[in-house]
Structure 1
């Protein structure tokens, strides 16, 4: 009898809970149904507003939309319906507090060239554990710094001297890409055999050239050439991996960390997973860091008073090291406050990563608006960085604005949350080292028009900032 009563009570509780759950679910659906799409225009069928965006400065396109519709608006670009969000609160919502409702998304054409196992195509345990490993490997610290800095210094001095020795006008952005690529190689492979280095460079540059081209398999096109070069990259990387395994080479670099990685089940990464992540790191680092360095040179060139102050800061370090007789130390690099603020202000002004690209995995309601499942969601970093209420006089280059830390989620140069750039500290390191050697021993002159921005896809000064570099004799 007692058993029957207990069973009956259990059934009643179960049915009550089920009924309550359905009521909540029904109410949630009703609430979601009441939510409306954000204001905005979807443009023409199929093409949406893509042509409008590319017929003008994309930044002006988004700024005009925000001025008309507010900080939440809809549009249709690149073949996708999108919801744009231009506030720090929305950025926090999408990238941090409710990140599980949005997944990173990339065109399949780009995924093929980088590799499907690359870090930024994933979520969950694989992404989390791999991101920690890559961030740890690429984050300079006092223990690894003195080993890394002299080699980066050598690369920086070599690059600067080659630009000056040329005696001609160079494309600053293209030359910065070469320097950043060499630093990336150093962080990934350590000291790599020259034959491997040249083969990897050759194939990688073909992939890079086809990355933003129209995706087609028609023979002879840039994209088809890139696909073939990507296969060659995998083959070369497999050879390097096999050689390390056979010779039991132990090197403290990213490749070594990837080879030693084991998940919770004790499984190692496959060669394809290692290759995809190496290529992913190269892609993530090269264009973005090279773009920032190019803008830094332009902003310093255009603001001579700030340049002179940076020179004074770096000259004190130069003198302390008896010129270049001793390499920079961790303490010196960590004590370049003005130069560091110049980098931060350059990141804000240029906003190389103008937005994050996410996709709603379920219907989401935000501030009374519906973000339908499958729609792209784009927090607009540049709009936030250029909001005069957050950064007064946003068009003025003013490093002093970073003397105090900016408010949370108002400064997002490397993204936020679990998908923030894991190599941002290495990027800052190579910027600081290059700037040190640039301003203490060289001068540069920008040639031609100093206005205009080009996109490829990241913003860079017009024509890659043509400039002439001259080596100077520093007074003792």
Structure 2
């Protein structure tokens, strides 16, 4: 018996030694190269005090396509290749959950679809996509056109094009008397969204928190009226109100509020910023403006000098203008990166991405990489006449969290440009060429410009007119 025990002990000991040797011989994944910056602060100050092209570009040049950092209080890994972006957002998306700072979740609402990746996200995304589908856009082209005409005819009247289009898809054609209150409180909320989250009376963040509460009350009144009047609308709010899951459960009041406010966030600032940039490029590049004018004036003439409405088919057939929109998306790279968080230890190309670390796919680096775009710092819409490398052009993200409103954004911009080019002339004031990041890149001072119509003139800051 003692001999049997001895053999078992010796066998176990040899197995342990051999297993340990194999483990030691197996190469272990290491952390990516890079700097973690200052204690606690990390590299946050450098990120928000520099041109992001400089911040991201110098690190990619020094460390390669994957490097570590520490920003906004968390360690993280930045990735800047098409393959890496596909890995994080598509093929291994289940390993990287969407994540945002808690201060931002509080303002937009924790139930907003872009904070989730489970069945709830799938359900909410389907509802949003249905409300922003091509069929929905097609039916609302006349309404978007009417908003564009009204906005251009009253630059000083306080109308905000991108906000009003977003409201159209959320609340439908009903001209709610709450729209001005919604607009006022939304922009108060938006101003503090990217501020340092000090919730003290009088701070920008505190004003945003209070505006968020007022928005909730206003939306509550709109929902109450819908239910009392038994209104059935084919808009986002209607879809959210009538939704039931497989168990017959409806959405909670807070889930409805959070997703409405979340869509407003997604639809407003990014589209307004893009519209500002494309108009700046049209002003700066005379050949671009001429090509767009030729195209848009031909459509205008086909519509009997604007006496006929712009059709859905015409918005689908504007090649030069559409290429200019794509190149503006690439050049400006309004969304420089997105946030994810590793839900477990992940190995990528021999490097370890630790569980709990933030993961930031860098769209901007890819859009400005000469390996994917020839002379990337030159504005050249013709590059989109040819095919673009897969996953190298991702202005709206990728995978299951691709922006569901990207077609709405492109359509409303094309409609706006059609009326602007055919009815206005404009001249941008001299600028220093600087860019302001807050957090989206916009021309310094908001692109001040003068506008002329056939019978009158007006002037103002273009970005302020579009976005604020």
Secondary structure of 1:195's aligned partner: coil
- Runs of 4+ displaced beyond 4 Å: 25-33
2:394 alignment partner in structure 1 = 412
Q: Secondary structure at the match of 2:352?
A: strand
Are the counterparts in 2 of residues 49 and 77 from structure 1 also a CA contact under 8 Å?
yes
- The gaps in structure 2 that reach 5 residues or longer are 1-18, 456-468
| Distance change in 2, residues 1:207/1:464 (3 Å) | same
The equivalent residue for 2:154 is 162
CA–CA distance in structure 2, aligned partners of residues 38 and 265 of structure 1: 46
Q: Which residue of 2 aligns with 1:152?
A: 144
Distance across 1 between alignment mates of 2:396 and 2:20 = 39
Q: Give the equivalent residue in structure 2 for 1:291.
A: 273
Shift in Å, 1:350: 0.4
Distance 1:318 1:235, change over 3 A: same
Q: Matches of 1:320 and 1:383 in 2, distance apart?
A: 41
Greater mean alpha carbon deviation, residues 344-353 or residues 190-199: 190-199
Query: C-alpha displacement at 1:448, in angstroms?
Result: 2.3
Q: 1:349 aligns with which of 306, 321, 331?
A: 331
Could you tell me the TM-score, scaled by structure 1's length? 0.88
Partner of 1:184: 166
Q: Distance in 2 between matches of 1:45 and 1:388?
A: 34
Task: Determine if contact 2:283/2:428 at 8 Å carries over to the other structure.
Answer: yes
Mapped partners of 1:55, 1:351: distance in 2? 18
Give the structure 2 partner of residue 424 of structure 1.
406
2:88 aligns with 94
Q: Given the alignment, which residue of 224, 227, 233 partners 2:209?
A: 227
Distance 1:145 1:91, change over 3 A: closer
Specify whether residues 30 and 93 from structure 1 end up closer, same or farther in structure 2 by C-alpha distance, changes over 3 A only: farther
Comparing 439-448 with 47-56, greater Cα deviation is found at: 47-56
| Alpha-carbon shift at residue 28 of structure 1 (Å) | 12
Higher RCO, 1 vs 2 (CA within 8 Å, ≥6 residues apart): 1
Using a 3 Å threshold, how does the CA distance of structure 1 residues 32 and 250 change in structure 2: closer, same or farther? farther
Deviation at 1:433, TM superposition (A): 0.3
Identify which of 107, 110, 125 aligns with 1:116: 110
Q: What is the RMSD of the two structures over their aligned residues, measured on CA atoms? A: 2.1
**Superposition pairs of residues 252-291 of structure 1, within 5 angstroms:** 252-291=234-273
Q: 1:26–1:106: structure 2 CA closer, same or farther, 3 Å change rule?
A: farther
CA distance 1:264–1:450, change in 2 (3 Å): farther
Alpha-carbon offset, residue 195 of structure 1: 2.8
Question: Does residue 19 of structure 2 align to residue 45 of structure 1?
Answer: no
> Does the Cα contact within 8 Å between 2:137 and 2:408 map onto a contact in 1?
no
Task: State yes or no: 1:34 paired with 2:24.
Answer: no
Residues 1:146 and 1:72: Cα distance change in structure 2 (over 3 Å): closer
Paired position in structure 2 for 1:69: 63
Mapped to 2, the partners of 1:468 and 1:75 lie a distance apart of: 43
Rounded to whole Å, the distance in 2 between the matches of 1:270 and 1:40 is 44
C-alpha contact (below 8 Å) 2:97/2:343 kept by paired residues: yes
User: How far has the Cα of 1:366 moved from its partner?
Assistant: 0.2
* Corresponding residue for residue 3 of structure 1: none
Deviations 1:201-225 (A, max 9, x none): 2221221122112212211212112
Range moving further from structure 2, 284-293 or 73-82? 73-82
SS in 1 for 2:160: helix
CA distance in 1, matches of 2:293, 2:334: 25
Q: 1:290 to 1:31 in 2, by over 3 A?
A: farther
CA distance in 1, matches of 2:47, 2:250: 44
Aligned 8 A contact 1:212 1:456 in 2: yes
| Cα deviation, residue 40, structure 1 | 0.9
DSSP 3-state at the match of 1:34: coil
So what's the TM-score if we normalise by structure 2?
Answer: 0.90
Distance in 1 between the 2:25 and 2:348 partners? 12
> How many aligned residue pairs are there?
437
Distance across 1 between alignment mates of 2:22 and 2:267: 42
Matches within 5 A, 1:351-370: 351-370=333-352
